[in-house]
Structure 1
Amino acid sequence: MFIADNLKFIHERIAAAALKAGRDPASVLLVAVSKTRDASAVDDAARSGQRLFGENYVQELVTKAAQVSESVAWHFIGGLQSNKVRQIAGLVEMIHSVDRLSLAREIDRQWGRLGKTCNVLIQVNIACEASKCGANSADVLGLVRNVAALPHLRIKGLMTMPPFFDDPEGARPYFRELKRLSELVAAERILKVEMTELSMGMSGDFEVAIAEGATLVRVGSAIFGERERQRSPVQRT
C-alpha cells in the first residue's frame, strides 16, 4: 500500500504547488520514474491510478514493458545511444533526452520505418556539467531547427537536469532558464515545434520546478522508496 499512499501524497503536493503558482493542477503530469524497479512495482502503481512511467535504460525498459500486465505509457528519460533506438521504436510515447542531431536522425529513421511519429523533448545541459547529457543553451535554437526538419519527429518542448542541491531553491535558476529558453524558441514559430512541455523537477525539487513552469515532473524515490542500486549518470544506454 505504500506506493498508493506515496502517489496520493505526491499528487497532493503537485496540486498544491500548481495552485500556489496560479496554475491548473491538471497542467502538470507526473512521470513515475521506475528505473531499477520490478515490473510488479509498476503494476502496483498503475493499479493506484498512475499511467505514465519513465525509464532510463533501454534493455531494462524493453524487458520490463514485456512483464508489466497493466495498461501503461512509457517515456524514455535517460541518455540514449543511437544504436539502441531501434529497440524502443514505437514502444515509448515520448523521448525526453534528444541532445544531438545524430540521435534525432536515428529516431526519425526508426519511427519512419514504422510509419509513426515520435514526440521528443530537447535536453538542455544548462549548467554545462560534464557528467550530464544535453545541448548547451547557446546551441538549442539551432538544434531545434535541424530536428524540426525531420519528418517523423515532433518537438514538444525542453528537458533539463540541474545540479543537485540540498536546498531545492538552488535549482530554481536552472528551471527559470529552461522556461526562458522555451519562450525564446516558441517566439521563432518554427514549423512542427511546440513549446508546450517542460520536463524538469525530481523528487527533491519538483515543487520549485512547478513554480517555474514544469509540465512534466520526474519522480522516483518519493514514490517507490530509495533505490538499492545506482548507476553512473554519465552512462548512455
Structure 2
Amino acid sequence: MSLQDRIQHVEERIQAACDRSGHNRNDVNIVAVTKYVSVEMTQTVLDQGILHIGENRPQNAIPKWEALQGRGAWHFIGHLQSRKVKDVVGKFKYIHSLDRISLAEEVDKRAAASGVEVLAFVQVNVSGESTKQGLEPSEVEAFLQEMERYTHIKVIGLMTMAPIEEDPELTRPVFRRLRELRDELNAKMVTREPLTELSMGMSGDFEIAIEEGATWVRLGTILVGKGEED
C-alpha cells in the first residue's frame, strides 16, 4: 500500500470515528510519527500535506529537521531529558511530554533565550502503569498552577498513552478519563486560558481516542510504514 493509499485509509477511519461520535473532523489533527522512517519518507509525508511531524529522539530527529530545513511543525512526543532540551527548543514547536517542574524550568529558560513560545501538553499517566511516564491525575491541578509562572511555555492540553490492548475498546476508559480531567480543570479555571487539546490515540486505538475527544492522534506505522531509522 502506498503512502497516499495509507493516508486515504486513515482519513476514512478518522471521518467514520467523527461521524459515530458527533465530532468535527476539522478538530482532529494528525501527527505523523516518523521516528522509524527516512528523511525521504518524512519529506514525502510533508509533500502529501501532513504538516505535523512527531519524533521522540533528538539525535535522530535533528538531522531530519536540518535536511528538511525546518519544514512543517515538529512535535516532540517522547520522554524528554532536561539535558536534551537545548536540542529541542527552537526546532520543535510542540512538546507532548511535560511532566515535571525541572523540565519546565529548562524548557522555559531555553525558550526565553531563543525568543520562542513552546506549546506543551502535560503528560498524564491515566492507566497507572509503572512503565509509563507522566503525572498522576491527582497531581495535575497543582502542576498546572505552578506552570503559570513560566512565560515561554503555553500549556494547551493533556496527553496520555493507553495500554496496548488486543481489543482497542478496552482503551476507552483511559481516553475518557483524560477528557473528563481536562473538563474538570477547565471548570475550576486552573489555567489562564482553557485547555483545549487532548493528545491521545496511536495506530492501534486512534478511533476510540477520537470518539472520546482526541484533538491530536499520533500515527506511525499505520500511516508512514516502518523503515530503518536514519
Query: What pairs up with 1:222-237 in 2 under 5 angstroms?
Result: 222-226=222-226
1:199 is aligned to: 199
Cα deviation, residue 69, structure 1:
5.9
1:122 is aligned to: 122
Is the alpha carbon distance of 1:227 and 1:13 closer, same or farther for their aligned partners in structure 2, counting shifts above 3 Å?
same
Is the alpha carbon distance of 1:153 and 1:69 closer, same or farther for their aligned partners in structure 2, counting shifts above 3 Å?
closer
Query: What pairs up with 1:30-179 in 2 under 5 angstroms?
Result: 30-68=30-68, 71-179=71-179
Q: Is the 8 A contact 2:28 2:216 kept in 1?
A: yes
Instruction: Give the secondary-structure state (helix, strand or coil) at the position aligned to 1:195.
Output: coil
C-alpha RMSD of matched pairs (Å): 1.5
Instruction: Give the secondary-structure state (helix, strand or coil) at the position aligned to 1:162.
Output: coil
Percent sequence identity is 39
**CA distance in structure 2 between the aligned counterparts of 1:138 and 1:71, rounded to whole angstroms:** 38
Higher relative contact order (CA 8 A, sep 6+): 2
Cα deviation, residue 228, structure 1:
5.6
Cα deviation, residue 226, structure 1:
3.9
Letter in 1 for 2:133: C
Q: What runs of 5+ residues in structure 2 fail to find an aligned partner?
A: none
**CA distance in structure 2 between the aligned counterparts of 1:3 and 1:69, rounded to whole angstroms:** 22
Cα deviation, residue 20, structure 1:
1.5
1:221 is aligned to: 221
Letter in 2 for 1:63: P
Is the alpha carbon distance of 1:105 and 1:70 closer, same or farther for their aligned partners in structure 2, counting shifts above 3 Å?
closer
Q: What runs of 5+ residues in structure 1 fail to find an aligned partner?
A: 230-237
1:21 aligns with 2:37: no
State the TM-score, normalized to the length of structure 1: 0.92
Cα deviation, residue 191, structure 1:
4.0
**CA distance in structure 2 between the aligned counterparts of 1:127 and 1:191, rounded to whole angstroms:** 24
State the TM-score, normalized to the length of structure 2: 0.95
Cα deviation, residue 183, structure 1:
0.7
Q: Provide the aligned length of Structure 1 versus Structure 2.
A: 229
**CA distance in structure 2 between the aligned counterparts of 1:120 and 1:61, rounded to whole angstroms:** 18
Instruction: Give the secondary-structure state (helix, strand or coil) at the position aligned to 1:218.
Output: strand
Instruction: Give the secondary-structure state (helix, strand or coil) at the position aligned to 1:4.
Output: helix
Is the alpha carbon distance of 1:171 and 1:215 closer, same or farther for their aligned partners in structure 2, counting shifts above 3 Å?
same
Report the more deviating stretch, 42-51 or 220-229. 220-229
**CA distance in structure 2 between the aligned counterparts of 1:175 and 1:84, rounded to whole angstroms:** 29
**CA distance in structure 2 between the aligned counterparts of 1:190 and 1:115, rounded to whole angstroms:** 26
**CA distance in structure 1 between the aligned counterparts of 2:60 and 2:186, rounded to whole angstroms:** 34
